């Protein structure tokens, strides 16, 4: 090829050919990337189609099983046409199991462990209580401000508060600090310094996670990891075993553009939330492996990658601060001070259904199943339920079988817990916790 080319020109010719080949390779790489991108888009569309097909199949199965007329698709139904059962119909849950009285003020946090049967509750009175079979087993006075979160985790109980701390209590040690029953014997104990009637509560605190500069408004512990959100506008990731901070994510930059949010100016809440322990700059969060979802005071739902600490999706629908959220592999439900609960499609990134309540939605739960099933507390005395397959909303009375105000008759439900199984836990502004069978 270069036989008739002068020797002094050969290097230049070779360089030109090299550049031509490199340019050709760059073009091939660009084409390859374009093909890969298109394949990813096709895969995503296939996943969406498969998810929609499963939803349609579950609806058909429900219709055939119940023998009812077909239900219109979400795009064909309006909020006015939703089947809402009014309170006059007096719908009731299957059974009220326990009425748990002990708190002196409204309930701000609930959790339930189906294995041990323990119920944990936190309150505006700064107390945390653990209940077993309708009886208060432990009382923890480990915070000096409103309790914002409780979670039963293995043999531990994690609590968070407006005092900017998260504390992890070893429940197996709490029996040792409960008051010792009085005895008729006048003989003093042999070792009075060891057999104190009430040893210090801090002896049962396995770890205290400090570092947030304001109230800890929400948290979750899972698989050795703790994620917390705070009024200091950060989300922090901790190692539950060592207590060490892994990373801190500043959310300020993600919420600084008001043009991308529907939240009304001046409609948000203080960074630490309301006086009743709702919302905050980071009002709610949940994570699974590397996926993190947050709801913030600008009304936005954001999805994050914990490996990079970056938000990869932002979804706007609420006009005021998000108070609570929960997701599974297909859906997210969010509640807000604007009086709405939104059910989102994770794959499409859009709202599937908007539920209007006219008063702040303070707690939402997503019950796992073939179709999304939501429970909500909405600043009234009802337990609100929504099934996406039948598009039906039901408001259950929360005072069934109760006789007096101290038992929570007519009290506003502030928190609700219902995930797997047939147990539902509710807490109201009077400090009453109730367990139900649904």
**Contact status, residue 299 vs residue 319, Cβ threshold 8 Å:** yes
Mean pLDDT of 309-315: 93
Residue 218 makes CB contacts below 8 A (sequence gap 6+) with: 148, 149, 160, 228, 229, 280, 282, 283, 284, 285
3-class DSSP state of 363 = strand
- Chain centroid, CA 80 distance in Å: 29
Stretch (H or E) spanning 177: none
CA distances from 136 to 68, 100, 205, 227, 321 (A): 45, 8, 19, 28, 34
Burial of 409 (0-12, 13-18, 19+ CB in 10 A): middle
For the beta carbon of residue 184, count every other beta carbon within 10 angstroms: 4
pLDDT at 266: 46
How many residues are listed for the chain in this entry?
438
Mean pLDDT of 312-340: 95
* 267, two tokens: 């409609």
Cα angle, residue 124 at apex, residues 120 and 127 outer, rounded to 5°: 50
Q: Is it the case that residue 85 has pLDDT exceeding 80?
A: no
Burial of 392 (0-12, 13-18, 19+ CB in 10 A): middle
Average pLDDT of the chain to the nearest whole number? 83
Strand-pair partners of 296: 282
pLDDT at 262: 54
pLDDT at 174: 86
Q: Is it the case that residue 252 has pLDDT exceeding 50?
A: yes
* 205, two tokens: 């605190």
Q: Whole-model pTM?
A: 0.74
Strand-pair partners of 374: 366, 386
Q: Is it the case that residue 158 has pLDDT exceeding 70?
A: yes
What spatial distance separates the first Cα and last Cα of the chain, rounded to whole Å? 84
* 385, two tokens: 């339920």
3-class DSSP state of 30 = helix
**Each residue of 163-222: pLDDT tens digit?**
999 999 999 898 777 654 444 444 444 444 444 444 468 889 999 999 999 999 999 999
């Amino acid at each position: 090829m270069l036989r008739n080319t002068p020797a002094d020109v050969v290097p230049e010719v070779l360089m030109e050919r090299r550049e031509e080949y490199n340019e050709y390779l760059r073009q091939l790489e660009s084409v390859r990337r374009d093909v890969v991108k298109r394949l990813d888009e096709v895969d995503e569309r296939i996943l969406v189609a498969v998810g929609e097909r499963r939803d349609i199949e579950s609806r058909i199965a429900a219709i055939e099983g119940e023998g009812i007329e077909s239900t219109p698709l979400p795009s064909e139904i309006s909020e006015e046409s939703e089947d809402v059962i009014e309170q006059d119909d007096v719908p009731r849950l299957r059974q009220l199991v326990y009425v748990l009285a002990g708190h002196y003020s409204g309930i701000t946090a609930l959790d339930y462990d189906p294995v041990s049967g323990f119920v944990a509750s936190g309150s505006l009175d700064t107390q945390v209580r653990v209940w077993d079979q309708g009886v208060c087993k432990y009382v923890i006075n480990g915070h000096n401000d409103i309790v914002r979160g409780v979670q039963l985790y293995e043999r531990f109980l994690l609590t968070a508060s407006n005092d900017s701390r998260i504390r992890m209590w070893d429940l197996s040690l709490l029996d040792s600090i409960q008051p010792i029953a009085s005895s008729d014997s006048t003989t003093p104990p042999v070792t009075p310094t060891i057999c104190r009637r009430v040893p210090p509560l801090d002896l049962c605190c396995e770890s205290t996670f400090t570092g947030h500069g304001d109230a800890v408004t929400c948290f979750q512990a899972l698989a050795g990891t703790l994620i917390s959100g705070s009024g200091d506008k950060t989300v922090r990731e901790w190692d539950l075993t060592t207590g060490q901070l892994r990373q801190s994510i500043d959310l300020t930059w993600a919420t600084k553009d008001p043009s991308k949010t529907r939240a009304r100016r001046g409609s948000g809440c203080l960074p630490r939330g309301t006086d009743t322990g709702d919302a905050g700059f980071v009002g709610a969060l949940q994570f699974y492996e590397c996926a993190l979802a947050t709801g913030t005071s600008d009304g936005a739902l954001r999805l994050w990658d914990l490996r990079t600490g970056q938000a990869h999706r932002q979804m706007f629908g609420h006009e005021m601060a998000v108070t609570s959220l929960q997701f599974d592999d297909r859906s997210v439900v969010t509640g807000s001070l604007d009086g709405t609960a939104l059910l989102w499609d994770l794959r499409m990134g859009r709202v599937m259904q908007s539920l209007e309540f006219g008063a702040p939605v303070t707690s939402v739960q997503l019950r796992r199943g073939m179709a999304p099933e939501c429970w909500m507390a909405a600043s009234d005395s009802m337990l609100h339920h929504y099934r996406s397959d039948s598009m039906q909303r039901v408001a259950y009375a929360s005072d069934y079988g109760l006789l007096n105000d101290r038992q929570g008759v007519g009290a506003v439900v502030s928190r609700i817990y219902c995930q797997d199984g047939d147990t539902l836990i509710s807490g109201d502004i009077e400090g009453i916790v109730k367990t139900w069978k649904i």
